[in-house]
Amino acid sequence: MWGDGHQIRSFMHISDCVEGTIRIMNSDHAILAQGQPVNLGSSVPVTLRELAQMTISFSGKDLTISCKKGPEGVRARTSDNRLLREILGWEPAVPLETGLKETYDWIEGVIRREQKSHDHLPNAGQLFDTNAHAQILVPKSYSVSQIVPQEECALDLCGGSHHVDHEK
């Protein structure tokens, strides 16, 4: 991950986003009728490192988080929902862990189905060095190649990382 992983963000489940949007659209509160902006998001902060650790815990794999220098964006960004609570008496209900686990399970299911349908393809899961400025990974889990800049590590989503020594 870029940066030290201590960047703070907040994430909201799509069902909460839809519910909040519908409630805002259906409200006749004066502030909303005047077109004043209202934040709709989660006010629960989480570091990117915590988010990664949650995801790793769902996987059951023994993975480590690797941080590297790169753009981090703002140090902290969360939603201030005080006005939303005041106007609608509502706030997002799906906890981050619940929504993230649901999303993880869905993605894992898609990957497994794709993997089963493409296991017959030659070279699945192999990394090829093109001697250009990119590495091409033919993933076991996807039907298209993933292109990763030469400076990056090509990540095999089925569990391992592959590094190619370009100094040879």
2 located within any domain: no
pLDDT in tens, 39-85: 999 999 999 999 999 999 999 988 899 889 988 889 999 999 999 99
19 shares its domain with 98: yes
Q: Is the pLDDT of residue 123 over 90?
A: no
Q: How many domains does the chain have?
A: 2
Structural domain boundaries enclosing 144: 120-162
| Contact criterion met (CB below 8 Å) for 91 and 27 | no
140 shares its domain with 71: no
63 located within any domain: yes
**Phi, then psi, of 103 in degrees rounded to 5:** -65, -45
Q: Which CATH number fits the domain that encloses residue 14?
A: 3.40.50.720
Query: Does the pTM exceed 0.75?
Result: no
48 shares its domain with 106: yes
Q: How far apart are CA 138 and CA 148, in angstroms?
A: 11
pLDDT computed for residue 167 by the predictor? 41
Q: Which residues pair with 114 in a beta bridge?
A: none
